[in-house]
Amino acid sequence: MRIWTALALLSTLPGCTADMAGVAGSRALSVSGGAVTVAGPAGYCVDKGASKDGSAGAFVLLGTCAAMTRSTGAGPTVAPAILTASVIPGAPDEGPLSAVFPSTARFFRSAPGRKALSRNGRPENVEVADVISKGEVLYIRLRDTSESAGQSVEPEYWRAILSLRGRIVTLSALALRDRPLTSSAKRKVLEAFVARMQATNT
């Protein structure tokens, strides 16, 4: 099934948490030949230097605009989360992505699925705690004990999987170890990220 091939490619995309202090950011970034625009909730900006776009897919990193510009006036005060977006080909040609959510949930609990979720491609480092479907979005709460490039992040974070403009989009909300966030806070930011992406790409 083509969707499994696409999801397995997640681990091949770059997944970094760069030091974003002082990095100039923009509010949105078009990827996949302009097919999808990545935009975060209010108060979050794109780190273009840490983002990648190619034939296999795109990876976009976002942080708070205030942290990236070292200016408290750069945007509203928001949770100090790190957001990521991966955009890959492979959305179902017919029917909604939600039609395969049950099998997708089983996939992510398997070794190949946990490998796709792992920052270093090692399934033993990933524990899937919750898989929740909400409309056309699949939310996953997981722990990844892999070492992260750049700044150190908390093991627990949230991911969302949805389909936008013929692409499979995975969004993540993470927190730094030295600026931790509760699980509910990370999910709240992620849900706002999902809403912004859906509104931007309708």
Give the per-residue pLDDT at 119: 86
Give this prediction's pTM: 0.87
CATH number of the domain located at residue range(s) 2-200 in this protein: 3.40.1000
Taking the domains of the chain in order of start, what are their residue ranges?
Answer: 2-200
| Residue 23 in this model has a pLDDT that exceeds 90 | no
Q: What is the pLDDT of residues 71-113, one digit of tens each?
A: 666 567 899 999 999 999 887 776 788 888 999 999 999 999 9
First-to-last C-alpha distance (Å) of the chain? 26
In which element (H, E) is residue 192 found? helix 183-200
| Chain mean position to CA 68 | 18
Average model confidence (pLDDT) for the chain?
A: 86
Contacts of 50 (CB under 8 A, 6+ apart): 16, 18, 20, 23, 61
